[in-house]
A and B are shown apart, each in its own frame.
Chain A
Amino acid sequence: EPEVTQTPSHQVTQMGQEVILRCVPISNHLYFYWYRQILGQKVEFLVSFYNNEISEKSEIFDDQFSVERPDGSNFTLKIRSTKLEDSAMYFCAGQGLAAQETQYFGPGTRLLVL
């Protein structure tokens, strides 16, 4: 059964450094998302991406964040200058052809900013 994959599974970085989190969605998915979960808290929406552009973003998704799908398979989340409060689990999700279909999540990348 196809699944969403994410790399790396864990990343430790210094404050102010750039990080890129990578996701490979299921091949026939067209809608892509990033969510984050600060330790012990609920999962929060960051951004949705469709047809090679951002369709919606949350207040969390400020100028430090960017997303792209450079090669038609990978879907990346870049944080330009990490802050301590960016430490969280980051989940990628994908959704099929029809809007409001079920979103399937990757295993997550646990980011720790020191």
Chain B
Amino acid sequence: AQKVTQAQTEISVVEKEDVTLDCVYETRDTTYYLFWYKQPPSGELVFLIRRNSFDEQNEISGRYSWNFQKSTSSFNFTITASQVVDSAVYFCALVVHRDDKIIFGKGTRLHILP
């Protein structure tokens, strides 16, 4: 069975600090896809990134970076120089190749304090 674990339920940091959101996934499939979605207070789900299991290259997009490590089954998300607008719930998610439904983690609620 597939599973996504986000152990951090809630994190609060002061603006401009860096923050890392942890994600650990479980699957026996060798081909899978990992995602991060952002859910701001308005409620919508905003796609941030997709990674396939064959691409372990880390990615940076502005203040956002992602660290994918198959050896530890982790796909962590770092926000550098956080801003108040980054306050949201962040979901890590998994799709396996033989399936098409998204398995979401429980989310991490991030508070960026001014």
Q: Which residues of A contact B (CB under 8 A)?
A: 31, 33, 35, 41-45, 48, 55-56, 58, 89, 91, 93, 95, 99-100, 102-108, 110
Contact = CB atoms under 8 A, between A and B. Distances in A.
A41 to B, nearest CB: 7
Interface of B: 33, 35, 37, 42-47, 50, 91, 93, 95, 97, 99-107
A58 B50 CA distance: 23
A91 B45 contact: yes
B112 to A, nearest CB: 20
Given A42-B107, A43-B91, A56 B45 contact: no
Given A45-B101, A103-B102, A110-B43, 5 more contacts: A43-B93, A95-B100, A102-B50, A104-B47, A105-B47
A100 B33 contact: yes
Interface on chain A toward B: helix, strand, loop, or mixed SS? strand
Contacts of B105: 42
A88 to B, nearest CB: 11
Contacts of A99: 100
A50 B91 CA distance: 25
Contacts of B103: 45
Given A102-B35, A102-B50, A110-B43, A56 B102 contact: no
A110 B100 CA distance: 24
Given A100-B33, A100-B95, A105 B44 contact: yes
